[in-house]
Amino acid sequence: MGKLTAVAVKAALANHGTYQDGDGLFLKVGKTGSASWVIRLQQEGKRRDIGIGSAKLVTLAEAREKANELRKAVKVEKRDVLMERKNKAAAKVTFREAAMQYHSQNEVGWKSEVYTRQWLASLENYAFPKLGDMPTGSVSAADIIDVLTPIWQEIPETARQIRNRICAVLDYAHAMGWRSAEAPSGNSSLKAGRGLPRQVKKTQNRKAMPYVAIPSFLTALRRKPSFGRFALDLLILTGTRSQEVRLATWEEFDLEGRLWTIPAEHMKRSKAHVVPLSEAAIGVLAKADAFRVEGAEVVFSGATGKAMSNMTLLKVLRDMQEPFHVHGFRSAFTDWAANAGFLNAVVEAALAHKTSDAVQAAYRRTTYLGTKEDPGMRVQLMEAWGAYCSGTVTVKEALGADD
């Protein structure tokens, strides 16, 4: 029989201290007036203090009954009660909630705003559809492999990033007590060659659509309006990279001056780049404006109103059953420009490539943009390319030459 009585418990609630009932059960009353029942047990040579509940809500008789149940669970059934409680708590925190909290707490220390957006966007596009609503405590290696398998060989670098970010969230969940174990990473089943296949190194260039096929491709592309198709259309017409188009905001565009100034943080070389906008490119932006999502800063927004994923443009090509790569359109543009007779230096400037010749780089100051009254060669290049892609004129007609 215990040492405490109901009357003694009532009196103890007004006085800070620890009150023993016996057989490991005791009442703890804090200085602030908090009061809780605790059962102390030995398990595998370790002392475990397990909370039973508030003494203001759980009576002495109820506390003794719960203490007996816990003694039986630990000593007879050999259950790890604390671990069970952690898993139960973890069941209340989904992977999406854990990822959002981890992102919120760490974004200040990340290297750039672009990386911060991409970090969360990558999980939104690849991990959340399958893991988002799962409790963090139940996410297994098999679940992670299920997320990674479709992209493991197609976009290996992105797949590895997704794996690392999922594991970072799960490790964070473990530290927060929402998960009983750390993420299954390192040399475990998430290593290439174990649960995941070894990634095939592809040394060949990204497959490019021949430039002669682009006018008919754009005709088909423009039949069905969507932000993904608008974005791919502008990418082709401007010779830009996927990231530069996907992250583009309306404030980057001077539609009256027909110029697009891409900020340094969106560029591969971290140097701002100015793109002349052709009549065709202006037309694409007008379509995007007609579909503009209220409150969205980016021109081509995804389902959430934020920048679309780096797989969206490739998905457009795959949905149209085209085997080519998004980046290959820059190669097609280069081939067309060379065939049309444009200077290599002008094309390289349009592609924002670094000049390989150090002497040329030191002395070349022109941007080939010219002025509004006297358009430069890059303006002529992009206008001719836009007209060719849209199928409105031939190359020679775009350049003002006779057939």
Which residues of the chain are under the pLDDT cut of 70?
Answer: 1, 86-91, 111, 185-189, 192-193, 201-206, 355-366, 393-403
Q: How many alpha carbons lie under 13 Å from residue 47 in its C-beta half-sphere?
A: 5
* Calpha distance 125→162 (Å, rounded): 10
Side chain identity at residue 89, one-letter code? A
Delimiting residues of CATH 3.30.160.390 domain(s) in the chain? 6-79
Name the nearest CA neighbour of 77 among 48, 110, 43: 43
Residue 96: C-alpha distances to residues 59, 166, 215, 348 (Å): 38, 10, 42, 43
Strands (E), 55-177: none
DSSP 165-193: HHHHHHHHHHHTTS-SS--S-TTSTTSBT
Angle between the 377-389 and 227-238 helix axes, to the nearest 10 degrees? 130
| Contact by Cβ (8 Å): 377, 346 | yes
CATH topology of domain 81-203: DNA polymerase; domain 1 (1.10.150)
Delimiting residues of CATH 1.10.443.10 domain(s) in the chain? 211-398
Quick one: DSSP state of residue 366?
A: -
Confidence (pLDDT) at 128: 92
Kindly calculate the radius of gyration of the chain based on its CA atoms and give it in whole angstroms: 31
The C-alpha angle with vertex 76 and arms to 75 and 80, in degrees rounded to 5, equals 60
Dihedral angle sign, alpha carbons of residues 249, 254, 255, 261: negative
| Contact by Cβ (8 Å): 169, 102 | yes
Confidence (pLDDT) at 56: 87
Confidence (pLDDT) at 394: 59
Confidence (pLDDT) at 361: 41
Delimiting residues of CATH 1.10.150.130 domain(s) in the chain? 81-203
Side chain identity at residue 281, one-letter code? A
Tallying the residues shown for the chain, one arrives at 403
Give the three-state DSSP class for 126.
helix
Side chain identity at residue 277, one-letter code? L
Determine which helix (DSSP H) or strand (DSSP E) holds 34, and give its type and residue range: none
* Calpha distance 103→97 (Å, rounded): 10
Give the three-state DSSP class for 363.
helix
CATH topology of domain 211-398: hpI Integrase; Chain A (1.10.443)
Confidence (pLDDT) at 359: 39
Tens digit of each residue's pLDDT (9 = 90 or more) over 338-376: 998 899 999 999 998 875 544 344 334 457 887 777 888
Structure tokens at 86: 């952690």
| Contact by Cβ (8 Å): 103, 120 | yes
| Contact by Cβ (8 Å): 56, 13 | yes
Structure tokens at 276: 């002349």
SS (H, E, C) 8-40: HHHHHCCCCEEEEEECCEEEEECCCCCEEEEEE
* Calpha distance 282→378 (Å, rounded): 16
Name the nearest CA neighbour of 181 among 59, 83, 264: 83
* Calpha distance 339→351 (Å, rounded): 16
Assessment of whether the complete model's pTM goes beyond 0.75: no
* Class of 6-79 in CATH: alpha beta
* Calpha distance 368→380 (Å, rounded): 10
Determine which helix (DSSP H) or strand (DSSP E) holds 260, and give its type and residue range: strand 259-262
209 CA to centre of own chain: 28
Side chain identity at residue 174, one-letter code? H
Side chain identity at residue 40, one-letter code? R
Confidence (pLDDT) at 284: 96
Strand order in the sheet with 259-262: 253-254, 259-262, 273-276
